[in-house]
Copies of this chain bind each other. A is one copy, B any other.
Amino acid sequence: MAFFIGRDRESRRAYGFNEVALVPGDVTMNPDEVDISWKLGKLKFEIPFLAAAMDGVVDTKFAVKMGRLGGLAVLNLDGIQARYDNPKEVLLKVASAPKGKATQMVQEFYKKPIKMKLIAKRIREMKKHNIRTAVSTIPQNALKYGKIAQDAGCDIFVIQSTVTTVKHISTKYDALDFRKFCSSMKIPVIIGNCVTYKAALDLMEAGAAGLLVGVGPGAACTTRGVLGIGVPQVTATVDCAAARDYYYKKSKKYVSIITDGGMDTGGDICKAFASGADAVMIGSAFAKSKEAPGKGYHWGMATPHWNLPRGTRIYVGTSGTLEELLYGPATTDDGTQNLVGALRTSMGSVGARDIKQMQLTELIIAPAIKSEGKIFQKAQRIGMGK
């Protein structure tokens, strides 16, 4: 259905997590028997969860824990970890900065130059624990860091910026040639972020093994407010998954779609898979783990931008170990714990045997905001200080 936002100007309606819901199946399954594994190229993972390359979420210790639990954490090469020999104390300063000063302090800390030797060192710190490792950088630094990472034993290389396209126009600098870069690397390359069918298809044809989907939806991200840009994640994931399916049909190469950002609860995560995701990348929810280096705080990769920060330091608190967040038992009922259990139970309830079936389950449009009464009940509880 087409809508018009004005004279002769047609527009699509895009949907976010809070606007849709899953429909129970006519057949259900034992949650313990659903298969939630996924593959990136030839690498198979037990659980389809990635931890976002954010300094408040992933350090080497966190990555080791995540790897052991069956998932994958991505270490940010453009942040604190590769700038400071002792990142811990810097992270502590950010966490304890007063509210109004946080963005400026983050900007300040990120001015210190990257040390190339720290890149290899961090990867080896993780690799010696026999886990799969992944590191992330922006397109401008990919050529510089890619080889170093690969030689240090890294398993997956991630290139990520707010909006990434195969074709980037500039007369002042050379844009990264993704096709050349991917074919030069021996390890799989994940590229992001994108949200449209065409951009996704271009990146697949350039050789990406996986795509990060999401522009502007994350809790620590203010891209939509600052730039006006943002495609809600349900529509973005559906569109990029359609590109994946088309590309697979044509080339027989399966490029994984990783929904990145905007998922607050297990419910949102389940909806991402139902929209077509092969895996999800999580920031805020993992920042709440005891293992997260941000000590209950986290911030996006565009936060330190010196001239136009687009992200904010967010306080999420600490609510349990990473293992509890992933596998339970949940001690709260708000959908932020036992994410693996939630995914399994949801798949059982809709009757999806594996992620591929989950991608095809029915989604209905059903706004989350319930009765007026309930909203004010909540407001009242808040207003009364509890």
Contacts and interface: CB of A to CB of B under 8 A. Distances in A.
Interface of A: 1-9, 11-30, 32-33, 99, 103-104, 107, 162-165, 167-173, 194-199, 202, 215-217, 219, 222, 224-232, 234-239, 241-242, 262, 264-271, 274-276, 303, 306-312, 328-335, 338, 341-342, 345-346, 349-351, 353, 362-374, 376, 378-380, 382-386
Contacts of A21: 14, 216, 224, 228-231
Given A225-B267, A267-B226, A331-B104, A3 B365 contact: yes
Contacts of A370: 16, 18, 217, 262
B333 A303 contact: yes
Contact of A13 (B333, B342, B364): B364
Nearest to A231: B23
A332 B3 contact: no
Contact of A24 (B13, B215, B270): B215
Given A9-B238, A333-B226, A372-B18, A24 B199 contact: yes
A25 B165 contact: yes
A197, A268, A303, A383, most chain B CB atoms within 10 A: A383
5 contacts: A11-B363, A26-B198, A33-B170, A226-B335, A228-B269
Q: What are the 5 tightest A-B residue pairs by CB atom distance, in nearest-first order? A: A6-B238, A30-B170, A228-B270, A228-B267, A225-B335
Nearest to A267: B228
A356 to B, nearest CB: 15
Contact of A172 (B33, B235, B382): B33
B371 A27 contact: no
A276 B26 CA distance: 21
B341 A329 contact: no
A328 B104 CA distance: 13
Contacts of A199: 24-26
B23 A15 contact: no
A345 B227 contact: yes
A157 to B, nearest CB: 21
A242 B8 CA distance: 8
A311 B335 CA distance: 10
Nearest to A266: B226
B28 A168 contact: yes
Contacts of A20: 5, 11
